[in-house]
Structure 1
């Protein structure tokens, strides 16, 4: 432990001249965190662990008082990082914070923490796994209530428990195969091959369902909604109305929008990426043709589509044309919006009447969007994965399980199963070979 540096950092936002903070918390972690506190807090005996105490904080080099505040320390290993930790709770002015950080930096056994280093030490000391660490990062970055809830769920170990359960199932299956290979003379359970095959099938099916669930990615990155429709229907006006600002140029000239314009919104707690697209029509203009191509591509990849039509024209006929050319259209969730109802009333079927000019019908449209978003993101089943690296590892795991099912020899099946478990272990950051022996001896009592 003597070779491990004691790190420190400001744990609250950096105060600025325009907005100094009321309070600032400086955190330390490492084998000599308590020593640093002794030096900074005037040489008095430390308070009992986990007890706040009022202390005068001084610069150890000059003896000058920096501030008078609360100090606390925590004994290893029962801390967030698994190391001894300490905190200084000071006034939040720039001079106080700068003086405290400079004073700690003059201690030759302390250094400024690198980004994420407190969380990394917690991972390295077994306080959390990689998914829980990612949950902490997502919680800090959360902008909506739903993102906060998902981050808390992941930080509390929901994904960790799911993947560890799968890894435990895989370890048991692998242990059975290894036992059949290494101990052929033992009395192993009959029907072992069928049991292993069935177990791999069930695990592979569970992972396939998990991969098909995009709730976590949608919630973390934002639900993608594409506004599509013919030119001059009011797509850009709708974008501006929902964004409550002039995010897109609005003009009576058809074909004004030629590229995708994105706006990030919070709709009832759901993070949304709203995209205005070029008007869908045939055009000899090559630039406009590219805009239409991009509009169709965005409609194809979107989670939800809003088709905007002009109430003053043959909007029903245009709707049929656009929907026929949009195979991704989902009648259960996608929404038809008939705009300009202040000029020509529109009624009938499931279309939402709207006037982007007056705002009439906006509340009903928002309710439809929120209901559709809620249906796409509804909390059901196991916790969803949230990152691209999770998906990549799960795909590798599923591929390896598929190869194990097709293997012609037990040894090859065992190797593929081992690779599948390694892929799962990459998600959580836990890969322990020793567990395999534990399962073998527990299940088969070999050598008694």
Structure 2
């Protein structure tokens, strides 16, 4: 028999309220032992809780949810206690003393919801991301995943694929029946259906990856020595993150810090000044790392001559340190070729830079209402697409058995997004990300 588990599901005490959840076949008996009765289902009841010896524990609100229509798919009880440490500890001790009950492991409530079919794998991943969300864009993306946005799309693809597979099976097994279409017409219809589905999967694969939202966009500040890079990153994060010095080569490594702009998670990096001559061995290593960071950047902030700017698809050319060169005709002519004029010391241009970064970042994020896929989901979807891609005129295009096998493999790949196909080790890793009471 499945163990009955319990855990504190709210924040650590002290707090106004402490919510203890109990899930499993002995949940009803545990609640009755504490409260002296089993309350009406799905209605909050105010009761006096007592331990096994009759000693009072707390005056609390309790809720009883008989399975299987519960969050975990099994009998579930919630105890809404006063959130003091002693109160919560006493109630947990009383539950731990009962036969058949034990403390929950991390993520075990959500794992049971998955095992009992209350949520699928994609929704569980979305819930994990929702618990970890720190910015508005992370919250919106994770909420869509947890609410089944991806799962509904996969269900639609599976239904269409099942229809195609049924057509192939009918041709293979019942071609001699009078009411079954046969021949080239059926094959071409299957190939067209597979191509249409592959095209739709390709559109999803072209969307930004979910990791861009959860881990943050990479924004790299680069340019020659003494261009004002460290001053700019200090101004952006509003603290002394990087050392500012007139000595060339002061910054010798990539300094990274997380920062959210308008609810979008980003990772800003200050880099070593890029120059061709005069750098010592250590500074040269820093320059190489700066160039690697530029290549990997989602957005590049270039503080230097526009002519020397790296070839980057999303570069903002900045005429920095404007407080120093205003009135210099040559400097002003070069600044005119940049995207904006900026002085981190005086604040000139900082608001415009903020807007430009955010506008550029939004082009890298999913549009409103779109769901992004995690790396695991993208890999499964890519495999399904490859199975559905049939080269015109190939041997497979004329072999119904091979077409049927490709569709079966595509269905298996799609099932890995929401199902159980070969995911046991990954499930242990996933649900281990959750807190104890979730």
Matching residue within 39, 46, 60 for 2:38: 46
Distance 1:336 1:382 in 2: 31
Tell me the CA shift for residue 319 of structure 1: 1.6
Matched, 1:57 2:38: no
Q: Please, which runs of 5 or more residues in structure 1 have no aligned partner?
A: 310-317, 432-448
Partner of 1:342: 323
Q: Is the 8 A contact 1:233 1:308 kept in 2?
A: yes
Q: Which residue of 2 aligns with 1:422?
A: 412
Matches within 5 A, 1:68-107: 68-107=59-98
Q: Distance in 2 between matches of 1:245 and 1:202?
A: 53
Deviation at residue 382 of structure 1 after TM alignment: 4.3
Alignment partners' CA distance in 1, 2:221 and 2:122: 34
CA-to-partner distance for each residue in 1:314-336, whole Å, 9 max, x for gaps?
Answer: xxxx22122xxx33x12xx4311
Q: Which has the higher contact order (CA 8 A, sep 6+)?
A: 2
Question: Is 109-118 or 287-296 further displaced after alignment?
Answer: 287-296
Alpha-carbon shift at residue 215 of structure 1 (Å):
5.0
Please state how far the C-alpha of 1:47 moved relative to its aligned partner.
1.6
**Alignment CA distance shift 1:380-1:148 (3 Å):** closer
Q: Which region of structure 1 is more displaced relative to structure 2, 214-223 or 398-407?
A: 398-407
CA distance in 2, matches of 1:343, 1:56: 73
5 Å-filtered alignment, 1:344-383, equals 344-345=325-326, 346=332, 347-379=335-367, 382-383=370-371
Q: How many residues are paired up?
A: 407
- The one of 128, 137, 148 equivalent to 1:137 is 128
Indicate conservation of the 8 Å contact 1:224/1:274, yes or no: yes
- Partner of 1:411, secondary structure, is helix
Mark the CA change 1:285 to 1:171 in structure 2 (over 3 Å): closer, same or farther.
farther
Q: Secondary structure at the match of 1:49?
A: coil
C-alpha displacement of 1:380: 5.4
Q: Tell me which residue corresponds to 1:203.
A: 197
Taking only aligned residues, the RMSD between alpha carbons, in angstroms, comes to: 1.9
User: What residue is the counterpart of 1:397 in the other structure?
Assistant: 384
Quote the offset at 1:122 in angstroms. 1.0
Partner of 1:301: 296
Match of 2:306 among 305, 312, 319: 319
Give, in whole Å, the separation in 1 of the partners of 2:368 and 2:51.
55
Alignment of 1:114-193 (within 5 A): 114-186=105-177, 187-189=179-181, 191-193=185-187
Alignment of 1:401-416 (within 5 A): 401-402=388-389, 406=394, 407=396, 409-416=399-406
**Residues of 1 paired with 2:60 and 2:378: CA distance?**
47
Give the structure 2 partner of residue 446 of structure 1: none
SS in 1 for 2:38: coil
Match of 2:238 among 230, 233, 244: 244
Q: Could you tell me the TM-score, scaled by structure 1's length?
A: 0.86
1:24 counterpart (13, 18, 22):
18
Secondary structure at 1:337 match in 2: strand
- Indicate the residue corresponding to 2:432 in structure 1: none
Residues 378-412 of structure 1: CA deviation (Å, up to 9, x unaligned): 51574221x21112212222222236875263222
* Aligned partner (choices 269, 273, 280) of residue 275 of structure 1: 269
Residue 274 of structure 2: SS of its match in structure 1? coil
Aligned-partner Cα distance in 2 for 1:390–1:88: 37
5+ long unaligned stretches in structure 2: 327-331, 422-438
- 1:5 corresponding residue in structure 2: 3
Q: Secondary structure at the match of 2:7?
A: strand
Q: What SS does the corresponding residue of 2:325 show, helix, strand or coil?
A: coil
SS in 2 for 1:342: helix
Question: Could you tell me which residue of structure 2 aligns to residue 35 of structure 1?
Answer: 29
Q: Please, what TM-score do these two structures have when normalized by structure 2?
A: 0.88
Contact residue 404 and residue 417 of structure 1 kept, 8 A? no
